[in-house]
Amino acid sequence: MRVLQILPELNVGGVETGTVDIAKHLVSQGHGVVVVSDGGELIVDLERIGAKHYKLPVHKKSLKNILKCIKALKKIIEDERIDIVHARSRVPAWIAFFACRKTKTAFVTTCHGYYSMHLFSRVMGWAKRVIVPSDVIGRHMIDDFHVPHENIRRIARSVDLEKFNSSESPQKSPTQRVISMIGRITPLKGHTYFLKSMAKVVRSVPNVKIWIIGDAPAKKELYKQDLKVLVQRLGLKDYVEFLGNRKDIPQLLAKTDVLVLSTTTEEAFGRVILEANAADVPVVATKVGGVTEIVEDGKTGLLVLPKDTDEMARAVIKILRDPKLALSLTVQARKKLESHFTLDQMANATMKVYEEVLNSLNILVIKLSSVGDVVLVTPSLKMLREKYPHAKIFCLVGKESREVLERCPYIDELLIFDPKDKDKGWMGLFKFSRKLRRYHFDKVIDFQNNRKSHLLAFLSFPLESYGYDNGKWGFLLSHAIEDDGIPMPAVAHQFQVLKMAGVTPAGRVSLELWPSSQDELYVQKLLDGEWLGNAPNIVGINIAASAKWPTKNWPLKHIARLCDVLSNQNIRVLITGMEKDKELVRQLLTMTKTKPADFVGKTDILQLAALIKRTKVYITPDSAPMHIAAAMGVPFVAIFGPTDPVRHLPPSDHYSVLKKDMDCAGCYSSRCKKAKYACMEEITPEQVAREIDKLIGIKK
């Protein structure tokens, strides 16, 4: 495995030290490690352990700089053959995100701070896995940045105990008491409140020395000067030392009697507390964010309210005056440190995330059209599952088609797009695409192949997308096959896309549906209610196609005549259809001498599948029930008129197609302008009856 970590700089600090610690562990395990930053003191440590460093100005926020760095990082990723890019700050994360998309490299982030709810911060939640150091940061990313909880991995920061176990560490002074504060000098760290509390401590405890370890970034230099003025004003000049950034933290802590963390806002974690625990130094800390996950008040340290200088001073004085309390706190803190916060634990957990990301594959299949077309996708879903048995496969369908795949064993999750209601219009589409991006799809297979589906595929930001380039925004796909317009069965049409995506169809192709036992029980009750429960020969007839396609419908008078012909042959007939077809079935029943069973509008999709399964033969125009019959293995007679059976006939072993070869055949018009529906009119009931006779003995 080759891992690239990217962060603003490599000067002394918790994030930087953690980066070097992870690099050290990876190298020791035989992995390749690259770090990209603007440089700093820790480059020497990094290169000493065998990692490689590239200097880039990844700390600068200007758009021009970010674009330049994206190009440079892309080249580094390619040259170093990087498998994982791990971003540890926001500007580097923006650079890494786009470089990873260009190189199809796995992207991971660690949220080291409690970020403001700003667009600039959102990139930290765009990784396939988002590492957080504490529960409070995890909840922040879920609630405020809408990161799916399954993408969050909590890995507490740690400390390298070897650095603090040296027998050469200096000893504490028997006469002088040292109080230390470690961290960047910024207002968030609460230095002002720390100094005000120290003014109270020095009046109660003799021989106190106060160390402020860490320095101010360039933009906060004035704040540091203000603190020095405050030291003078509080009369602490003889007590306080500003030590700046130091690499000898273990040695400084060895001389420290109490460590104070006085952060005033939500602290992501508080790594300096662990360092104090490792050095057997008791801790006083403010009750903020992840600090409460490290310090158990009164057991492993003392917690105080932020900005409460009186309480902070009392806690420090209490520890300095009570050696037994100080010892108890350090002993318990050390035990917790060794069981929860070691470097090996952090490194192993991080490695597990890397392996998880490399071994994970999220696939989205898009099919937004009608029920019948969604049924036709089932062979492709099966082949995707066989090719990628451990992948997470999602299928995006329209609201009216969701029932088709609700019980599909080949997908992990069904996503519903509702353009008529909550996802209506362009704004609805863009909002929905934001939801898709949370899944971090590696591959998108677009079987819908229209402008809307191609746009959704593009806006989901997958690493790869596949479909047809048919003049409907196919340029938005990363891989598009030209649609030559030659008629082809729908499933074979899909297989062309699968082949392009590296999935080679093999074996017998068949449609599938999965009605439940409850669906079958419901159908049994329907049949019993019409005295059909034990009927040996049942023929089902679909009364009409969709409302948009009246030209597909076989005339009612022909259906009525067929019902009577079949009745004379001792064959029972049942009529199926949708709620919209109830007027049609009412008319039909006035035209027949016999009375077929009326099940129009009485079933949903899977109940209809269970009902069709009970028939010996099913008669239907080109519509969804034809595909359902094929999926249930029921022989069917398909009556085609304005559409082409080459394109729409489902794969099946037993079927018959009736179609008149007319000049206007295959017009694909919803209105017959020339022949007065002759293509359907001229298919007679007797022709259909003969085909039924051929098929009825097939299904036993």
- The CATH T-level fold of domain 2-154 is Rossmann fold (3.40.50)
User: Residues 322-360: pLDDT tens digits?
Assistant: 999 999 999 999 999 998 888 888 999 999 999 999 999
Q: What is the distance between the alpha carbons of residues 630 and 618, in angstroms, rounded to a whole number? A: 10
User: Residues 118-142: pLDDT tens digits?
Assistant: 888 999 999 999 999 988 899 999 9
Q: What is the pLDDT of residue 168?
A: 59
User: Residues 428-466: pLDDT tens digits?
Assistant: 999 999 899 989 999 999 999 999 999 999 999 999 999
In this prediction, residue 544 has a pLDDT band, given cuts at 50, 70 and 90, of: very high
Task: Determine contact, residues 133/156, Cβ cutoff 8 Å.
Answer: yes
- The CATH T-level fold of domain 165-340 is Rossmann fold (3.40.50)
The tokens for 415 are 């996503």
Task: Determine contact, residues 80/34, Cβ cutoff 8 Å.
Answer: yes
Lowest mean pLDDT among 157-161, 262-266, 668-672: 668-672
In eight-state DSSP terms, residue 471 is: S
Predicted TM-score (pTM) of the model is 0.79
Q: What is the pLDDT of residue 541?
A: 97
Task: Determine contact, residues 10/16, Cβ cutoff 8 Å.
Answer: yes
Please list, residue by residue across 146-170, b when 16 or more beta carbons sit within 10 angstroms of its beta carbon and e when fewer do.
ebeeebbbebbbbbbbebbeeeeee
Rounded to whole angstroms, the maximal C-alpha distance in the chain is 114
Instruction: Find the angle CA(391)-CA(394)-CA(396) to the nearest 5 degrees.
Output: 160
User: Residues 207-222: pLDDT tens digits?
Assistant: 999 999 999 888 888 9
Residues of the chain with CATH 3.40.50.2000: 2-154, 165-340, 361-500, 517-695
The dihedral built from the CA positions of residue 177, 182, 187 and 189, taken in this order, carries a sign that is negative
The tokens for 511 are 């449609």
Burial label, 593 (beta-carbon count in 10 A; 0-12, 13-18, 19+): exposed
Task: Determine contact, residues 364/439, Cβ cutoff 8 Å.
Answer: yes
- The CATH T-level fold of domain 361-500 is Rossmann fold (3.40.50)
Lowest mean pLDDT among 10-14, 23-27, 70-74: 10-14
Which CATH number applies to 517-695? 3.40.50.2000
